[in-house]
Amino acid sequence: MERFLALELASTIRHDGSGGIADDLLTLRGTALWIEKQSELLAGRTPGGGVLVDERFRSEVIGLRQAVRALFARAVSPAPPSPADARRLMPADEALAHINKVAARVPVILRMEWPPGEAPKARLMATETDPHVRLLAALARAAIDFLTGPQREQLHACTAPRCIRYFLKSHGRQEWCKPSCGNRARAARHYRRRQTAPGGGSGPS
Ligand SMILES: [Zn+2]
């Protein structure tokens, strides 16, 4: 499955495997590791890696994530958003303005690259040299690309108990982000049915 920066950013808030919520961007080290892991996705968007993560940069990435998650909530509506932050979402107009503002911090020029033997590629070149600003703007542009692209219609918040993930549906009837979520959801459904209908026999599985 293709990976998208905006989805990766939103997914830094995740289930910790034991009933709580983990945040990959909680610390400077965690944030640096996350940026490092995105190097392939970032490569087409901003030159050079290796930014030094400081507290200010970390909080700016988190600000962008808040805006992205607010717009993910809008994208999946009227279905419910991820329960992780459903009750403290940034207003959608504020989220839009924020992403646009961060993207605008780096003017970009469009270049064509056509190495022999390969397909030509359009590449956006940043005209700003501050690596922090460049990276933040690249993340904001990725959010714009994602939300204005065809992926938006496949975006879905997993409805399995305790799951907080946004994911891309690969087929129309897919309800859960992964098979283990489907198993948990079916088990919970089965349990509820047994609770409401005592004596109901369990059929062959
Ligand atoms: Zn799930």
Of residues 197 and 61, more confidently modeled: 61
Q: How far is the CA of 51 from the centre of ligand 1 (A)?
A: 32
Give the whole-angstrom CA distance, residue 88 versus residue 84. Answer: 9
Give the whole-angstrom CA distance, residue 7 versus residue 12. Answer: 9
Mean per-residue pLDDT over the chain, rounded: 89
Q: Give me the residues near ligand 1 (ion), CB cutoff below 5 Å.
A: 158, 160, 163, 165, 177, 181
Q: Quote the pLDDT of residue 205.
A: 45
> What is the pLDDT averaged over residues 5-23?
91
> What is the pLDDT averaged over residues 92-104?
97
Query: In sequence order, what are the beta bridge partners of 112?
Result: 122
Give the whole-angstrom CA distance, residue 197 versus residue 183. Answer: 21
Q: What sign does the dihedral 10-66-87-148 (CA atoms) show? A: negative
Q: How far is the CA of 105 from the centre of ligand 1 (A)?
A: 35
Q: How far is the CA of 17 from the centre of ligand 1 (A)?
A: 12
Q: Quote the pLDDT of residue 91.
A: 97
pLDDT at 199 over 60: no
Q: How far is the CA of 110 from the centre of ligand 1 (A)?
A: 38
Of residues 80 and 1, more confidently modeled: 80
pLDDT at 32 over 50: yes
Q: Quote the pLDDT of residue 203.
A: 46
Q: How far is the CA of 181 from the centre of ligand 1 (A)?
A: 5
Encode pLDDT of 125-170 as tens digits. Answer: 878 878 899 999 999 999 999 999 999 999 999 999 889 999 999 8
Q: How far is the CA of 158 from the centre of ligand 1 (A)?
A: 5
Which tokens hold the place of 128?
Answer: 């700003």
